[in-house]
Amino acid sequence: MSNYKVHRVRFVDYKPRSINCAAFDNDSKFPKVAFSREDGSIEIRDPACNWTLINTIPGQEGRTVEHLAWCDDRLFSGGMNSEIIEWNLELLKPLYQQDSYGGSVWSLKFSYSKKIVAVGCEDGSIRLFDVLRNGIMYNRCLNKQEHRILSLSWSHDDLLIAAGGFDSKIRVYNVKSGRVSVTMTTDNLKSNRTMVWSVNFLKDSTIITGDSLGNTQFWDGMTGTLLQSFKSHLADVLAVAIYNDEKMVFTTGIDSKIVQFVLLQNEHKSSWIQTKHVRATQHDTRSLAICAEPYNCLVSGGIDPRFVVHSLNNFSLEKCVFYPCLPQSSVCQLAPNGNLLLFREQQKLNIWKMNHINNNDRVMPKKLFEIRANGHDHLICSAISHNGSYVAYSSLEKSQLFMLSVESSEGPSVQKIKLRLCPAIVMCFSNSEKLLITVNKSINITHINSFKTELIELDKGIDLPFRHIVISKNDEYVCIVDSKSKCLIFSLQERKYITSLPTLSGHVTCLNFHPKTNNLFVCTSDMFLYEFNIQEDMFMPWLFEFNKTKLLTARKKNEEIQTITFPPKNYNQIILQLRNYIVKINYGTKILFPDDEAASQPKKSRQKGVYKTIRGFKDIMFFEFNSLNELVIVERPFKTILKSLPDPLNIKKFGT
């Protein structure tokens, strides 16, 4: 951006975590997909709105999430710490934690009636729990085996459970008696047992398994007869996904290949054939999830921290869509006057001093502070004040406020302020640095000097948790956005609710107050922009005209507006930040349409004075202006992330 001096930051060492598992909620009124990460966090995304991240449940030291399952819009998980957790999706923390009574949870499956959950445990047992309205209750244990249960699947009538083990065997249990009715044995090597990582029961009693030898096998679940076997992978088959009509199957594993099988039927018999495969990434793929109509897609994830969406209408590498693994922009924050850059990690804050740019003399930023959080919970939000005098963070259990001294004669220092603060999902400082605003179930306004806290209660129609908070330049208004993208505007001076924006299509991805007019500018997941005038309680027309040009909506599927801001010395410009480029919009410029005089010109040429794309950036994590009209851009190139991943399986190629 030639008009601005740019701090191009690449020293922020953000490390995205690999995906452990994925689960699609088919039964909800608002379908969604949950992904668990290696650090124990859980992402919930909306497939209907460009896979926008709705909420993130933060992780905790020592807690792993190896399995996820939805049951009537309730989310459950199991992991290596021997607990089954039902999650409170409003407060983003466990609703309760139930001991498995059998050690680490290796598999977790609900019956089709949704009345029972079966848990495969470390001690070789399958434990059954009754699903109640307010929790789950231990029922009984099926016949115990010697080795851990790695995978489970219910028959569609809920009378049988197929289980894959650590001892090369697949067992079919009669749920009523608790005994094994059929046993099947897979191929095994003399030196090692074969691990059956995935088991799936079809309606016709066919059982599909994936094992550590790379085999995908089809069994008769009633007789235990092997029907078909495919050496589909070079190493362990870690996941199997079944399409809804059960005529299409997908498998994947350590060799990162996703293989498609199709059921061919004729008058005499039916058989499975291996049709085609896709290798979207080079690293282990651990999870697969089928998203039913109208999405009709397959989602995969693994060591490569991106998740990949595959079209089932045209299953090919060309139709794969990779969704970025970079965090929301709130992970980095800027103190515009103090020129301090904050980066939030799982359990600490890092703060650098960004030196001013003088001609060609560039001085490397200096790291001033590293503030570590106590406890096991990972941080969920943070904030730094306008001048860089204060910084705050919060986990789901507690918030903490600190005072920073940058220009002290004794050198930079940090002091913890002993102030009791409620935990927050989102937080920010007022521009005057007098107030800290934290939001959880209510809005808490803390006076930093007097330590007094005022409370603004919220209406019952709010959908927790909140996702965004933004404050106007003159500290007159604050806006918070709930999980259904309802934008609520409050008067910070009068401490009361004023109005809400009309319902918008798509999820709100970012928003900001105009520094001069106090109008609220909002960006949504469908790439539309809106300007809301608080005084007149209405949308302003110019951005409606801009949206009609469809210059933004024509972007790639995995694009999303991450930041909307205004240059300090040119408030007539709107700057939008996407993952790999910047968009500059000249607000108020005349917009031309095909029926105007310039109808013969191409669409982009007609809007040349309105809209400009600035490229040359790569994987932008954060974008903002400081008070000197300098740009601070934090990049985290994906190639750097790939280099930090463990080596993939060595696949021999022809001629090497």
CA 472-367-359 angle, 5° bins? 75
What is the predicted pLDDT for the residue at 599? Answer: 47
β-sheet bridge partners, residue 468: 481
Non-local CB neighbours of 640 within 8 Å, separated by 6+ positions: 10
Structure tokens at 489: 């505007």
First to last CA, the chain: 45
> What number of helices (H) and strands (E) belong to the chain?
3, 55
Structure tokens at 183: 């046993």
Reported confidence tier of residue 292, pLDDT bands at 50, 70, 90: confident
Reported confidence tier of residue 127, pLDDT bands at 50, 70, 90: very high
The 3-class SS string of 612-642 reads EEECCCCCEEEEEECCCCCEEEEECCHHHHH
What's the rounded Cα separation, in Å, for the pair 168 and 12? 46
What is the predicted pLDDT for the residue at 478? Answer: 97
458: three-class secondary structure by DSSP:
coil
What's the rounded Cα separation, in Å, for the pair 621 and 12? 9
Least Cα distance to 543 among 569, 501, 574 occurs for: 574
CA 21 to chain centre: 12
Per DSSP bridges, beta strands 67-71 and 74-78 are: antiparallel
What's the rounded Cα separation, in Å, for the pair 137 and 36? 24
Per DSSP bridges, beta strands 520-524 and 573-577 are: unpaired
Q: What percent of the chain has pLDDT over 90?
A: 77
* Residue, of 654 and 345, whose pLDDT is higher: 345
For residues 210-222, give the mean pLDDT.
Answer: 96
Q: Is the pLDDT of residue 601 over 60?
A: no
Q: Is the pLDDT of residue 596 over 80?
A: no
Query: Are the beta carbons of 604 and 620 closer than 8 angstroms?
Result: no
Q: Count CB-CB contacts under 10 A for residue 610.
A: 19
Non-local CB neighbours of 526 within 8 Å, separated by 6+ positions: 49, 50, 505, 506, 553
What's the rounded Cα separation, in Å, for the pair 77 and 376? 19
Reported confidence tier of residue 262, pLDDT bands at 50, 70, 90: very high
Query: Are the beta carbons of 310 and 301 closer than 8 angstroms?
Result: no
Q: Count CB-CB contacts under 10 A for residue 246.
A: 15
Instruction: Please give the helix or strand (H or E) that residue 643 lies within, else none.
Output: helix 638-643
Structure tokens at 303: 């060591």
What is the predicted pLDDT for the residue at 84? Answer: 97
Residue 497: Cβ-neighbour burial (10 angstroms; 0-12, 13-18, 19+): middle
β-sheet bridge partners, residue 300: 288, 308
What is the predicted pLDDT for the residue at 598? Answer: 47
The pTM score is: 0.94
Least Cα distance to 623 among 570, 571, 584 occurs for: 584
Q: Is the pLDDT of residue 578 over 80?
A: yes
What's the rounded Cα separation, in Å, for the pair 418 and 432? 21
Instruction: Please give the helix or strand (H or E) that residue 237 lies within, else none.
Output: strand 237-242
- Alpha carbon dihedral 408, 414, 419, 425, in 10-degree steps, equals 120
What is the predicted pLDDT for the residue at 13? Answer: 92
Reported confidence tier of residue 214, pLDDT bands at 50, 70, 90: very high
What's the rounded Cα separation, in Å, for the pair 95 and 89? 9
For residues 145-152, give the mean pLDDT.
Answer: 94
Q: How many angstroms separate the Cα of 227 from the Cα of each of 219, 271, 407, 413?
A: 5, 9, 75, 70
Q: Which amino acid is at 174?
A: N
What is the predicted pLDDT for the residue at 591? Answer: 86
- Alpha carbon dihedral 133, 136, 139, 144, in 10-degree steps, equals 150
Q: How many angstroms separate the Cα of 368 from the Cα of each of 12, 245, 413, 428?
A: 14, 58, 8, 21
β-sheet bridge partners, residue 422: none
β-sheet bridge partners, residue 179: none
In Å, the largest CA–CA distance within the chain is: 89
